[in-house]
Amino acid sequence: MKEGIVRVGIIGSGRAGMIHAKNFANSVKHAKIEALSDSNEEYLKRNAKELDINKTYIDYNDLINDESIDAIVIATPTIFHREIALKSAVAGKHIFCEKPMAMNPEECENMILSAARSKVNLQIGFMRRFDKSFVEAKQRVLQGEIGDLVSVKSLTHGPSSPKPWQYDISKSNGPLAEVNSHDIDTLRWYTESEFKELYAIAGNYRCQQIKADFPDYYDNMLLIATFMNGVQGLIDGAAFVQYGYDARVEILGTKGVIFVGSLENNTVVSCSAHTGMRRDIIKSWGDLFKDAYLNEDIEFIQSILEGRDPIVTGTDGKKAVEVVNAGNESIRLKKPIQLIN
């Protein structure tokens, strides 16, 4: 690092990658976006022009080996995360990896150990830990506002049509990973405990056209769980709901309840004979968690400059992947799964 500036390279210029790229380009102090990599040359040229950067790489290995880069953001499909992270660590680059961390706990452990050996930071993209409302709810729980914790229910419904590679569970780990990793981390965060046992059910309701080619794919999922400390949990997940982006949490205690999140984009309600009653709905996770993405990017840079571990570590990413794998096993075997902690 030169002059207290962390130079960042982004690998993967899709939706999440561009959110991080724009943050580092415009809004994160002591950070500069240095280069962009994407295997799709059309996307790469277009996004580099939007970011006003000249250094681009089709092959992410060239970005990793660029000596001017101090830190790397991994925003590719999950199946590539481990390989990119290991190479980045060996090259001495700090690593921000989007969720889900990897395909299985063994890959996660490889990433954690490699980062530790190279003495570089490894942060996982669980941005809800940096959202103002989610953080306030956590603080209220800690203050005892609702008594002892009884249960946490977390819901995420995504509006977008799955990308073709996501239909193959062996390459994506399914919506439980792609959509509900945040819910898994939210439950761990609020309960301050680990999953003990879970049972999940799933089905394909909105993506009927791919059933013949991908019979294991599901776009709707329910998961119930017990935690090591006795708290109960529920995750409600769905992909391609189309009506909007829906992320809400209910935290029940012995003396009260806390609700986090809303489907409404704002408090404006209009009524007319022509349209009836209308409220605007949140359309994208990028809109709902815009500030949270910025705050986690700020934390990434600050942890590097301060020489400390980030708030969200590789261990948090690994624990979420363990639950994803157990949930998919429960769906496949149609029975509860116990987790070993």
**Separation of alpha carbons 201 and 232, rounded Å:** 17
Amino acid at 169: I
Same-domain status, 124 and 134 = no
**DSSP category for residue 20:** H
pLDDT digits (tens, 9 = 90+) for 232-265: 999 999 999 998 899 999 999 999 999 999 887 7
Residue 164 and residue 217 in one domain: yes
Asked whether residue 56 is domain-assigned, the answer is yes
Same domain, 139 and 178: yes
pLDDT of res. 286: 66
pLDDT digits (tens, 9 = 90+) for 49-96: 999 999 999 999 999 999 999 999 999 999 999 999 999 999 999 999
DSSP 3-state assignment of 45?
A: helix
Structural tokens at position 48: 């580099």
* Residue 331 three-state SS: helix
- Comparing 280 with 298, which gets the higher pLDDT? 298
Tell me: do 244 and 295 sit in the same domain: no
**Beta pairing partners, 199:** 224
How many domains in the chain? 2
Residue 1 lies in a domain: no
- State the Cα–Cα distance between residues 101 and 25, nearest whole angstrom: 24
Q: State which residues form the domain around 180.
A: 130-284+320-338
Q: What residues contact residue 116 under an 8 Å CB cut-off, 6+ apart?
A: none
The burial of 4, by beta-carbon neighbours within 10 Å (0-12 exposed, 13-18 middle, 19 or more buried), is given as: exposed
% of the chain surpassing 90 pLDDT: 88
Q: Residues 84-120: pLDDT tens digits?
A: 999 999 999 999 999 999 999 999 999 999 999 999 9
Q: How far apart are CA 120 and CA 303, in angstroms?
A: 10
Inter-residue contact 92 to 115 (CB < 8 Å): no
> Model confidence at 3, in pLDDT bands (50, 70, 90)?
confident
Residues 225, 195 share a domain: yes
Report yes or no on 112 lying in a domain: yes
In this structure, the strands spanning 195-203 and 220-227 are: antiparallel
Task: Clarify whether residues 171 and 46 are in a common domain.
Answer: no
The pLDDT assigned to 76 comes to: 96
Same domain for 275 and 306? Answer: no
pTM for the full model? Answer: 0.93
What is the dihedral sign for C-alpha 235, 239, 241, 243? positive
Claim to verify: residue 333 and residue 189 sit in the same structural domain: yes
Is residue 249 domain-resident? yes
Q: Is the preceding omega at residue 100 within 30 degrees of 0, hence cis? A: yes
Q: Please check whether residues 96 and 162 belong to one and the same domain.
A: no
For position 267, what pLDDT does the model report? 63
Q: Which residues of 45-76 are buried (b: 16+ CB within 10 A; e: fewer)?
A: eebbeebebebbbeebeebbebeebbbbbbbb
In a shared domain, residues 242 and 184: yes
Q: What is the CATH number of the domain that holds 194?
A: 3.30.360.10
The answer on pLDDT for 39 being more than 80 is yes
202, 218 in Cβ contact below 8 A?
yes
Q: Model confidence at 13, in pLDDT bands (50, 70, 90)?
A: very high
pLDDT tens per residue across span 187-238: 999 999 999 999 999 999 999 999 999 999 999 999 999 999 999 999 999 9
Largest CA distance in the chain: 66
In a domain, 72, yes or no: yes
pLDDT of the residue at 202: 98
Note whether 36 and 53 are within 8 A (CB). Answer: yes
Confidence class of residue 274 from pLDDT cuts 50, 70 and 90?
confident
Q: Are residues 27 and 144 in the same domain?
A: no
Query: Could you give the C-alpha distances from 158 to 56, 140, 240, in angstroms and in order?
Result: 31, 27, 6
Question: Mean pLDDT in the chain?
Answer: 95
Backbone angles phi, psi at 133, to 5 degrees: -70, -45
- Helix ranges restricted to H, 158-228: 169-172, 174-178, 181-191
The domain spanning residue 302 has which CATH number?
Answer: 3.40.50.720
Whether residues 217 and 73 share a domain: the answer is no
Which contiguous run of DSSP H or E holds residue 196?
strand 195-203
